[in-house]
């Protein structure tokens, strides 16, 4: 039973560390220049430069925030291009928010492992006392990690939203919801 529970706990922690690299995909700072160049595809270069993420990676990395823009008298292609450039400017905040979300998930998993480990049957009082102390410590560490990561994610998201909104307003877009 102990071996089985230890294996389950190990798999849960290993699963927390197995993250998809596309979740942190952001446009590098060279994206605005690449988007502005004209090519045979209507404003896009013929082939993506090697340092830009592929379309599949961009699609896989769903945006964290979508500003609500008044689209009256706005060219949709220009809006998309400007939005990509503004998101590229906010890329450090986006990466911090995504890392914090992953850390929060890891903290929650550690807390869950601590709670599950408290159900391990042990033969004596001394072992039960040691196990209770260890599970309480795991739960405390997991809870603290998750809480700190949630706070960090909130600050990073506020910075990300502020940068994207400010950039869009500087480009003369009217934001309906700020």
pLDDT, one tens digit per residue, over 126-140 is 999 999 999 999 999
Domain assignment present for 31: no
Domain assignment present for 121: yes
Domain assignment present for 27: no
The pLDDT score that the predictor gives to residue 163 is 96
The pLDDT score that the predictor gives to residue 63 is 87
Q: What is the pLDDT of residues 20-73, one digit of tens each?
A: 433 444 444 444 443 444 334 444 444 444 454 444 444 446 888 999 999 999
Q: What is the pLDDT of residues 65-109, one digit of tens each?
A: 999 999 999 999 999 999 999 999 999 999 999 999 999 999 999
Top-confidence residue, 7 or 21: 7
Q: Is the pLDDT of residue 176 over 80?
A: yes
Domain assignment present for 37: no
What is the domain count for the chain? 1
Domain assignment present for 148: yes
Q: The pTM is what?
A: 0.63
SS3 assignment for the chain: CHHHHHHHHHHHHHHHHCCCHHHHCCCCCCHHHHHHCCCCCCCCCCCCCCCCCCHHHHHHCCCCCCCEECCCCCCHHHHHHHHHHHHHHCHHHHHHHHHHHHHHHHHHHHHHHHHHHCCCCCCCHHHHHHHHHHHHHHHHHHHHHHHHHHHHHHHHHHHHHHHHHHHHHHCCCCEEEC
- Which range marks the domain in which residue 171 is found? 1-16+73-178
Domain assignment present for 134: yes
Domain assignment present for 24: no
Domain assignment present for 22: no
């Amino acid at each position: 039973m102990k071996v089985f529970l230890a294996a389950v706990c190990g798999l849960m922690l290993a699963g927390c560390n197995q993250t998809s690299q596309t979740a942190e995909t952001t446009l590098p700072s060279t994206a605005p220049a690449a988007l502005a160049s004209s090519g045979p595809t209507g404003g896009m270069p013929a082939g993506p430069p090697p340092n830009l993420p592929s379309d599949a990676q961009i699609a896989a990395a769903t945006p964290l925030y979508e500003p609500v823009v008044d689209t009256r008298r706005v060219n949709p292609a220009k809006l998309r291009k400007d939005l990509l450039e503004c998101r590229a400017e906010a890329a450090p905040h986006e990466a911090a928010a995504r890392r914090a979300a992953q850390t929060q998930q890891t903290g929650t998993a550690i807390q869950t492992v601590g709670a599950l480990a408290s159900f391990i049957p042990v033969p004596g009082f001394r072992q039960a006392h040691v196990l209770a102390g260890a599970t309480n410590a795991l739960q405390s560490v997991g809870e603290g990690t998750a809480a700190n990561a949630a706070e960090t994610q909130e600050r990073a998201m506020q910075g990300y939203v502020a940068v994207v909104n400010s950039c869009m307003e500087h480009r003369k877009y009217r934001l309906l919801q700020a």
